[in-house]
Amino acid sequence: MPTRADLPETDDALLIRARNGDRESFGELVARHQRRVWRVCRQYLGPADAEAAAQDALVKAYLSLRSFDGRSAFTTWVTRIAINTCLDELRRRRREAPSANGFADRADEDQLAALSDGGPGPEDRSIQRQAVARLAVLEQELPGRQREIFRLRFYAELELEEIAAALGVHVGTVKTQLHRAVHRLREGLGDVR
């Protein structure tokens, strides 16, 4: 029978210890949330830079632990830090290369490149790959906010409330934008599915 000590500690308990300098507790928080942070970063910066951005975000979170007021869940807070880290990186890129299109273009390029690298396979597999590639292209054509919310919902797998909290918008806005994005994608895909 599991004892109380066997139960996993809550994020709050780990946070208190991490604030007092317990690096192992922060390490446990990292282990719990790094995948989600990486997924969020991947949507903004693409796979090549997602890991570095996720590390930056987690280190920033550690340095800002004392300013965490607990009004939101730790996961929401760290997700917001990750998004801000990515937006800072995108702004830096835009300053250095004004012609860049911004939000996660590289992610799409990488994704399309990966798709096109595959050799000829079974016919259904090929159709699926075409559909995935088509979805990536259509997604690229979505308005920025719709694309951002679509990716955070379906690829980073955040809940609607988490997206709203991370982006600082009302959950109704998230629902509206997500619905429009999905509808637009369905219209664009037509029979490709």
Q: Does 36 bind another protein (CB under 8 A)?
A: no
Mapping DSSP onto H, E and C, the string for the chain reads CCCHHHCCCCHHHHHHHHHCCCHHHHHHHHHHHHHHHHHHHHHHHCHHHHHHHHHHHHHHHHHCHHHCCCCCCHHHHHHHHHHHHHHHHHHHHHHHCCCCCCCCHHHHHHHHHHHHHCCCCCHHHHHHHHHHHHHHHHHHCCCHHHHHHHHHHHCCCCCHHHHHHHHCCCHHHHHHHHHHHHHHHHHHHCCCC
Touching another protein, residues 107-126 (CB under 8 A): 111, 114-115
Pick one of 2, 3, 4, 21: the residue that binds another protein (CB under 8 A): 21
* Contact between 164 and 170 (Cβ < 8 Å): yes
Touching another protein, residues 148-187 (CB under 8 A): 153-155, 157, 160, 175, 178-179, 181-183, 185-187
Pick one of 8, 63, 70, 119: the residue that binds another protein (CB under 8 A): 63
Q: Does 30 bind another protein (CB under 8 A)?
A: yes
Smallest gap from Cβ 94 to another protein, in A, equals 24
Smallest gap from Cβ 168 to another protein, in A, equals 21
Give the residue with the Cβ less far from another protein, 6 or 187. 187
Contact residues for another protein, defined by CB under 8 A: 21, 23, 26-27, 30-31, 34-35, 38-39, 42, 47, 51, 54-55, 58-59, 62-63, 66, 111, 114-115, 128, 131-132, 135-136, 153-155, 157, 160, 175, 178-179, 181-183, 185-187, 189, 193
